[in-house]
C-alpha cells in the first residue's frame, strides 16, 4: 500500500486508510467474478491494487491512471474535496475510479470511459447499483480574487485565473473578445 501525497493532514490519513479498505473489498468482488465467469481475464486481487495519491486539484474528484507499457496502476483523488466531504466523497469516488481500473483490465484501453463496459463492471462485477459519471460535491471557491487586467473597453475589467496569470508572466498575451486589444495589468 502506497501512502498518498499530502497525508500530513490527519483527515487525509484516515481517508487514505478507508479508501484502501474499500478497494480491498471491491478487489475481492472483481476477483470472485473473474473466477466464476469464463472469457474474462483473471482479476487477481493481490496483483492489481492501485496506488492512491491525494494530489488532484480543481473540480475533478478522481482519476484512474494506467501508463501505457507499465503495470503501475494509480487512482488520484482530489485532496481538497476529500478533506471537505470526507467518507461520502471516498465512497463515491474510489469505486468509480476502481471501476475504470477493472474495465481496463477486462476490456483493454480502447473502451469509452463511461461506456457499456464500465457500466457493466460497476453494476454487475462490483455490485454498485447507483453510480454517476460526474460527482455532485460542492467545490470550494478560491478566496483570492483573480489578477485584474484591462483592455480598451470603457470600465471593463478582466480577471485572470492563477493559471492564466502564470502564463501571462511567462509571455502569453490575452486579448479582449469585444475590442480585440491586448489585456494589460491594472494598477
Residue 38's pLDDT band, with cuts at 50, 70 and 90, is confident
Q: Domains of the chain: which residue ranges?
A: 10-125, 147-185
pLDDT over 70, % of the chain: 93
Tell me: pLDDT of 52 over 60.
yes
Average pLDDT over residues 85-95: 94
Say if CB 59 and CB 139 are below 8 A apart.
Answer: yes
Mean pLDDT, range 82-94, rounded to an integer: 93
Listed residue (163, 186, 182, 165) closest to 174, CA to CA: 182
Write out pLDDT tens, residues 141-167.
Answer: 665 667 899 998 998 999 888 888 889
- Predicted confidence (pLDDT) per residue in 60-80, tens digit: 999 999 877 777 899 999 999
- Half-sphere exposure (CA, 13 Å, Cβ side) for 59? 5
pLDDT at res. 114: 94
Active site residues: 97
Amino acid at each position: 500500500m502506497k501512502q498518498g501525497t499530502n497525508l500530513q493532514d490527519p483527515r487525509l490519513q484516515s481517508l487514505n486508510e478507508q479508501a484502501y479498505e474499500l478497494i480491498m473489498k471491491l478487489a475481492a468482488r472483481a476477483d470472485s467474478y473473474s473466477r466464476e465467469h469464463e472469457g474474462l481475464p483473471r482479476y487477481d486481487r493481490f496483483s492489481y491494487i492501485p496506488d492512491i495519491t491525494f494530489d488532484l486539484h480543481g473540480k475533478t474528484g478522481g482519476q484512474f491512471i494506467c501508463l501505457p507499457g507499465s503495470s503501475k496502476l494509480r487512482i488520484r483523488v482530489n485532496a481538497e474535496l476529500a478533506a471537505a466531504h470526507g467518507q461520502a466523497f471516498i465512497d463515491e469516488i474510489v469505486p468509480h475510479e476502481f471501476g475504470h481500473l477493472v474495465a481496463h483490465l477486462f476490456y483493454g484501453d480502447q473502451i469509452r470511459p463511461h461506456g457499456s463496459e464500465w457500466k457493466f463492471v460497476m453494476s454487475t462485477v462490483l455490485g454498485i447499483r447507483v453510480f454517476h459519471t460526474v460527482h455532485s460535491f460542492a467545490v470550494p471557491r478560491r478566496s483570492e480574487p483573480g489578477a485584474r487586467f484591462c483592455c480598451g473597453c470603457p470600465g471593463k475589467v478582466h480577471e485572470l485565473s492563477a493559471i492564466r496569470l502564470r502564463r501571462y508572466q511567462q509571455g502569453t498575451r490575452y486579448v479582449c473578445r469585444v475590442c480585440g486589444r491586448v489585456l494589460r495589468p491594472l494598477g
